[in-house]
Amino acid sequence: MNPVETAAGKASLSAHPESADTIKFEGGKPLVGEVEVRGAKNLVTKAMVAALLADSPSVLRGVPHIRDVAVVRGLLEAHAVTVTELADGEIQMDPRGVESAHFAEIDAHAGSSRIPILFCGPLLHQLGEAYIPDLGGCRIGDRPINFHLDALRAFGAEVDKSNEGIRLSAPARLVGARVDLPYPSVGATEQVLLTAVRAKGVTELTNAAIEPEIMDLIAILQKMGAIIVVEPNRTIVIEGVDSLSGYDHRAIADRNEAASWAAAALATRGDIYVRGAHQQELMTFLNVYRKVGGVFDIDDEGIRFRHPGGAIKPVVIETDVHPGFMTDWQQPMIVALTQAEGRSIVHETVYENRFGFTDALVKMGADIQVYKEGIASITRRVPRRPLEQAAVITGPTPLTGANIRVPDLRGGFSHIIAAVTASGPSTVSNVGIISRGYEHLLQKLDGLGATFELQE
């Protein structure tokens, strides 16, 4: 029985939407209908950290029900920030009682999230100390934090590493600094912004990331009283101020989730209206979507994405920092590209190891070759990086159902699309991880006509 087709099933689906860990799909049906995307995970979580910098409460709207938001809420509450849900998707954060949290408590709330790193600047300003749990362990992952620590040291923070993690302290008020990032890292740019706004004097950040979520964070900081100038060539100049007040802000929409549903429409030969999708932040994605043959119609409220009927075309994609093609978009697009007529190449230049999810697609019948050293190419626009990889996808290949396990957030969403695209049954395990960044995933799939049941 498919529980989502019965009243009782609907109840169980909405009662435990994010805790379902193994799901059996019956694929081969197009996804058709409407979904809504709310605030971007990669802005909302940072905006919540920014609330710590203020001396009065902040209100954030468009907050999705995802696990990363719960993680940051837990960390704020561990530091005695009062978080109140004013309405669905609207939270108030009052930092006036902020105090240090116990190391173990931070560790327990942080889980595998990297967000605790971004608490450093605000906590150093408010309390003179901060902790980063479990550095180097798998819970923070292999992604390094050297840019973050170098920047914090430049502001005058002292960094002490121990077996437990990292303790940072600020013996005196942090001072503005010149920071030149070796790579336009999103997190390190946010680290500098969240620290420089209340440091004494001027900070000049060069080679900064300029993702739309960073621009939205800058808008929030400006509302709070910060002075931040975004100059050409990835330079950001911040004049530190003595104090900041709370903000009232609606978060920018989640373009990564929008792109995921767009790819799902293409892969399943479907038709999905993504309410809340916003053209400006998706232009690079939309160009690729059109080149592949996908159709989209833009209106004031969202974007309708659909398969053209007939065949779709192969494409060459190079992931890059904004305004390039985001690394978080390649995983769902690769599922669609397994259905394109011919050979596609995806060069992953942002992370050194982001094709693990393709193993499951190959198991389902896709023809995907991963080149662990990347592929030299004369037509490249994005400069070659030492650790990049490439995937060559040759299609079209029918996908057939299989037992697969979700490896990570974006790879996980692509597994779900693959299971919906494939003919026959698929069992997808470790699905819970996807709730880190996708709100109401199962309800949305249900609304789009996917056939699935939760496994015990």
Q: Among all residues, which ones are annotated catalytic?
A: 138
Q: Both tokens of residue 427?
A: 């069992």
Nearer to ligand EPU, 83 or 140 (CB): 140
Q: Phi, psi at residue 276, to the nearest 5°?
A: 100, -15
Is 389 a binding residue for ligand EPU by CB under 6 A? The answer is no
Positive or negative torsion for Cα 382, 383, 388, 394: positive
Q: Find the binder of ligand EPU among 144, 201, 308, 323 (CB under 6 A).
A: 144
Quick check: 148 binds ligand EPU (CB under 6 A)? yes
Q: Least distance (Å) from ligand EPU to the CB of residue 126? A: 22
Structure tokens at 404: 């697969």
Which run of H or of E encompasses 87? strand 82-87
| Number of residues counted as binding ligand EPU (CB under 6 A) | 24
CA–CA separation, 406 vs 210, rounded Å? 30
From CA 162, how far away is CA 154, in angstroms rounded? 20
193 vs 402 by CB, closer to ligand EPU: 193
CB of 134 to ligand EPU, least distance (A): 16
Please, which residue, 21 or 150, has the CB nearer to ligand EPU? 150
3-class DSSP state for residue 361?
helix
Interface of this chain with ligand EPU, residues 174 to 213, rule: CB under 6 A: 183, 185-188, 209
What binding mask, one character per residue, do residues 333-352 give for ligand EPU by CB under 6 A, x or -?
-----------------xx-
Query: Binding ligand EPU by CB under 6 A: which of 25, 119, 131, 147?
Result: 147
Contact call for residue 409 and ligand EPU (CB under 6 A): yes
Helix axes 186-196, 212-224, angle to 10 degrees: 10
Q: How far apart are CA 161 and CA 131, in angstroms?
A: 10
* CA distances from residue 135 to 139, 140, 185, 435 in whole angstroms, order as listed: 8, 6, 18, 24
Give the Cβ contact number of residue 128 at 10 Å.
16
Nearer to ligand EPU, 314 or 411 (CB): 411
Nearer CB in complex with ligand EPU: 306/347: 347
CB of 127 to ligand EPU, least distance (A): 23
Is residue 323 involved in binding ligand EPU (CB under 6 A)?
A: no
In this structure, how many other beta carbons lie within 10 angstroms of the beta carbon of residue 300? 5
Choose the binding region for ligand EPU from 146-154, 159-167, 438-446, 447-455 (rule: CB under 6 A). Answer: 146-154
Neighbouring CB atoms inside 10 A of 87's CB total: 8
Closest approach of Cβ 321 to ligand EPU, in Å? Answer: 7
| Separation between Cα atoms, residue 268 and residue 451, nearest integer Å | 13
Bridge partners, residue 371, by sequence: 390
Cβ-based nearer residue to ligand EPU, 26 or 257? 257
Beta carbons of 316 and 308 less than 8 angstroms apart: no
Q: To the nearest whole angstrom, how small is the minimum distance from the Cβ of residue 360 to ligand EPU?
A: 17
CA gap 437, 434 in Å, rounded: 6
**Nearer of residues 294 and 407 to ligand EPU, judged by Cβ:** 407
CB of 339 to ligand EPU, least distance (A): 24
Asked if 76 is part of the footprint of ligand EPU (rule: CB under 6 A), the reply reads: no
Q: Classify each residue of 328-341 as buried b or exposed e, where b means 16 or more C-beta atoms within 10 Å of its C-beta.
A: bbbbbbbbbbbbbe
CB contact set of 451 (below 8 Å; sequence gap of 6+): 2, 25, 26, 27, 29
Among 106, 145, 157, 264, binds ligand EPU (CB under 6 A): 145
Minimal distance in Å, beta carbon 82 to ligand EPU? 24
Residue 265 interacting with ligand EPU (CB under 6 A): no
Q: Which is nearer to ligand EPU, 4 or 130 (CB)?
A: 130
State the residue number with the nearest CB to ligand EPU. 187
> Judged by CB, which is closer to ligand EPU: 18, or 446?
18
Pick one of 23, 196, 437, 441: the residue that binds ligand EPU (CB under 6 A).
437
Considering the rule CB under 6 A, would residue 238 count as an interface residue with ligand EPU? Answer: no
Taking the C-alpha atoms of 164, 168, 171 and 175 in order, what is their torsion angle to the nearest 10 degrees? 170
Task: Work out which of 42, 58, 358, 414 binds ligand EPU, going by CB under 6 A.
Answer: 42
From the list 145-153, 278-286, 296-304, 370-378, the region that binds ligand EPU by CB under 6 A is: 145-153
Is 60 exposed, middle or buried, given 0-12, 13-18 or 19+ CB atoms closer than 10 A? Answer: buried
Q: How far is CA 310 from CA 63, 269, 333, 370, 426, in A?
A: 38, 9, 18, 28, 25
Minimum CB separation of residue 4 from ligand EPU in Å reads 26
Min dist CB 188 to ligand EPU, Å, is: 5
Positions touching ligand EPU (CB under 6 A) are 41-42, 114, 143-148, 183, 185-188, 209, 256, 326-328, 350-351, 409-410, 437
